[in-house]
Amino acid sequence: MKTIWAPWRMEYILSTKPKECIFCEKPKEDSDRDNLILYRHKLCFVIMNKYPYNNAHIMVVPYYHTSSFDGLSADELHSLMDVTKYSVDCLREAFRPEGFNIGINLGVVAGAGIEEHIHIHIVPRWGGDTNFMTVVGEIRVIPEHILDTYDKLYPIFNKKP
Protein backbone atom coordinates (compact mmCIF):
# COMPACT_ATOMS: atom_id res chain seq x y z
CA MET A 1 0.00 0.00 0.00
CA LYS A 2 1.26 3.47 -0.92
CA THR A 3 0.65 6.40 1.37
CA ILE A 4 1.44 9.91 0.21
CA TRP A 5 0.69 12.96 2.34
CA ALA A 6 -0.64 15.80 0.17
CA PRO A 7 -3.01 17.84 2.37
CA TRP A 8 -3.48 20.62 -0.20
CA ARG A 9 -5.32 18.16 -2.47
CA MET A 10 -8.13 17.68 0.06
CA GLU A 11 -8.70 21.43 0.13
CA TYR A 12 -9.20 21.31 -3.64
CA ILE A 13 -11.37 18.17 -3.58
CA LEU A 14 -13.73 19.52 -0.91
CA SER A 15 -13.79 23.13 -2.07
CA THR A 16 -16.69 24.69 -3.88
CA LYS A 17 -15.48 25.32 -7.40
CA PRO A 18 -16.00 28.95 -8.40
CA LYS A 19 -18.34 29.67 -11.28
CA GLU A 20 -16.39 32.78 -12.23
CA CYS A 21 -12.93 32.69 -13.79
CA ILE A 22 -10.25 32.62 -11.08
CA PHE A 23 -7.79 34.34 -13.41
CA CYS A 24 -10.21 37.27 -13.69
CA GLU A 25 -11.32 37.37 -10.06
CA LYS A 26 -8.09 36.78 -8.06
CA PRO A 27 -6.24 39.86 -9.42
CA LYS A 28 -9.18 42.07 -8.35
CA GLU A 29 -8.64 41.09 -4.72
CA ASP A 30 -6.11 42.72 -2.41
CA SER A 31 -4.67 39.40 -1.17
CA ASP A 32 -1.71 38.59 -3.38
CA ARG A 33 -0.07 36.15 -0.94
CA ASP A 34 -3.33 34.30 -0.26
CA ASN A 35 -3.99 34.16 -4.01
CA LEU A 36 -0.35 33.25 -4.79
CA ILE A 37 0.08 36.24 -7.14
CA LEU A 38 3.81 36.87 -7.38
CA TYR A 39 4.01 39.77 -9.80
CA ARG A 40 1.70 42.30 -11.47
CA HIS A 41 2.52 43.78 -14.84
CA LYS A 42 0.36 46.30 -16.69
CA LEU A 43 -1.14 43.68 -19.06
CA CYS A 44 -0.55 40.36 -17.32
CA PHE A 45 0.40 38.82 -13.99
CA VAL A 46 2.31 35.87 -12.55
CA ILE A 47 0.57 33.43 -10.25
CA MET A 48 1.78 30.22 -8.65
CA ASN A 49 -0.02 27.02 -9.59
CA LYS A 50 -1.81 25.97 -6.40
CA TYR A 51 -1.63 22.30 -7.50
CA PRO A 52 1.86 22.25 -9.05
CA TYR A 53 3.57 19.68 -11.24
CA ASN A 54 6.86 20.62 -9.62
CA ASN A 55 8.15 23.04 -7.01
CA ALA A 56 7.85 26.70 -8.15
CA HIS A 57 5.40 25.90 -10.98
CA ILE A 58 4.05 29.30 -12.03
CA MET A 59 1.77 30.72 -14.71
CA VAL A 60 1.79 33.96 -16.69
CA VAL A 61 -1.77 35.15 -17.31
CA PRO A 62 -3.16 38.08 -19.31
CA TYR A 63 -5.76 40.19 -17.54
CA TYR A 64 -7.88 40.01 -20.70
CA HIS A 65 -10.25 37.04 -20.56
CA THR A 66 -9.91 34.82 -23.64
CA SER A 67 -9.50 31.09 -24.21
CA SER A 68 -7.12 31.52 -27.15
CA PHE A 69 -4.83 34.05 -28.77
CA ASP A 70 -7.90 35.64 -30.37
CA GLY A 71 -8.63 39.03 -28.90
CA LEU A 72 -5.16 39.57 -27.44
CA SER A 73 -3.51 42.72 -28.74
CA ALA A 74 0.07 42.80 -29.96
CA ASP A 75 1.02 44.59 -26.72
CA GLU A 76 -0.62 41.86 -24.64
CA LEU A 77 1.14 39.11 -26.60
CA HIS A 78 4.49 40.88 -26.23
CA SER A 79 3.88 41.38 -22.51
CA LEU A 80 3.15 37.67 -22.08
CA MET A 81 6.52 36.81 -23.62
CA ASP A 82 8.41 39.56 -21.78
CA VAL A 83 6.96 38.46 -18.43
CA THR A 84 7.61 34.79 -19.27
CA LYS A 85 11.30 35.63 -19.88
CA TYR A 86 11.40 37.71 -16.68
CA SER A 87 9.82 34.81 -14.77
CA VAL A 88 12.43 32.36 -16.04
CA ASP A 89 15.16 34.78 -14.93
CA CYS A 90 13.58 35.07 -11.46
CA LEU A 91 13.21 31.30 -11.11
CA ARG A 92 16.85 30.84 -12.15
CA GLU A 93 17.95 33.30 -9.48
CA ALA A 94 15.81 31.71 -6.77
CA PHE A 95 16.22 27.98 -7.41
CA ARG A 96 18.88 27.43 -10.10
CA PRO A 97 16.83 24.91 -12.12
CA GLU A 98 18.63 22.96 -14.82
CA GLY A 99 15.83 23.45 -17.34
CA PHE A 100 12.22 24.49 -17.85
CA ASN A 101 9.02 23.23 -19.39
CA ILE A 102 7.12 26.21 -20.79
CA GLY A 103 3.80 25.72 -22.49
CA ILE A 104 0.23 26.68 -23.24
CA ASN A 105 -2.60 24.14 -23.22
CA LEU A 106 -5.41 25.27 -25.54
CA GLY A 107 -8.57 23.24 -24.90
CA VAL A 108 -9.45 20.48 -22.44
CA VAL A 109 -8.16 17.71 -24.72
CA ALA A 110 -4.78 19.48 -24.73
CA GLY A 111 -4.67 19.38 -20.94
CA ALA A 112 -6.09 22.80 -20.06
CA GLY A 113 -7.39 22.73 -16.51
CA ILE A 114 -8.82 26.24 -16.87
CA GLU A 115 -9.63 26.31 -20.55
CA GLU A 116 -11.62 29.55 -20.57
CA HIS A 117 -8.60 31.78 -19.82
CA ILE A 118 -5.30 31.35 -21.67
CA HIS A 119 -2.16 31.12 -19.53
CA ILE A 120 1.47 30.08 -19.92
CA HIS A 121 2.83 27.39 -17.61
CA ILE A 122 6.46 27.63 -16.48
CA VAL A 123 7.70 24.52 -14.69
CA PRO A 124 11.30 24.52 -13.41
CA ARG A 125 13.08 21.19 -13.84
CA TRP A 126 16.06 19.55 -12.16
CA GLY A 127 17.93 16.37 -13.03
CA GLY A 128 16.22 13.51 -11.23
CA ASP A 129 12.91 15.27 -10.62
CA THR A 130 11.26 12.63 -12.78
CA ASN A 131 12.35 9.78 -10.57
CA PHE A 132 10.72 6.44 -9.81
CA MET A 133 7.95 8.10 -7.77
CA THR A 134 6.69 9.96 -10.84
CA VAL A 135 7.42 7.31 -13.46
CA VAL A 136 6.38 4.12 -11.64
CA GLY A 137 4.10 5.35 -8.90
CA GLU A 138 2.50 8.23 -10.82
CA ILE A 139 3.17 10.36 -7.75
CA ARG A 140 4.74 13.81 -7.57
CA VAL A 141 6.81 14.90 -4.61
CA ILE A 142 6.88 18.65 -3.98
CA PRO A 143 9.76 19.31 -1.55
CA GLU A 144 8.59 22.62 -0.08
CA HIS A 145 5.33 24.14 1.16
CA ILE A 146 3.88 26.43 -1.49
CA LEU A 147 3.86 29.50 0.80
CA ASP A 148 7.54 28.98 1.63
CA THR A 149 8.24 28.96 -2.11
CA TYR A 150 6.07 32.09 -2.53
CA ASP A 151 8.01 33.88 0.21
CA LYS A 152 11.29 33.12 -1.58
CA LEU A 153 10.04 34.18 -5.00
CA TYR A 154 8.02 37.32 -4.17
CA PRO A 155 10.98 39.57 -3.28
CA ILE A 156 12.91 38.40 -6.35
CA PHE A 157 10.00 39.16 -8.68
CA ASN A 158 9.38 42.54 -7.06
CA LYS A 159 12.87 43.85 -6.39
CA LYS A 160 13.29 47.52 -7.00
CA PRO A 161 15.74 48.46 -9.80
Determine the length of the chain. Answer: 161
Kindly tell me the sign of the dihedral angle through the C-alpha atoms of 151, 103, 114, 135.
Answer: negative
| Residue 65 annotated among the catalytic residues of the structure | no
Q: Which long-range contacts (CB under 8 A, 24 or more apart) does 66-72 make?
A: 66/117, 66/118, 67/106, 67/107, 67/115, 67/116, 67/117, 67/118, 68/106, 68/118, 69/118, 72/118
**Which segments of 31-118 are extended strands (E)?**
37-40, 44-48, 58-62, 99-103
Pairing status of strand 120-125 against strand 58-62: antiparallel
Please pick, among 65, 119, 121, 145, the residue that the annotation labels catalytic: 119
Question: What are 55's strand-pairing partners?
Answer: none
Q: Which residues are marked as active site? A: 119
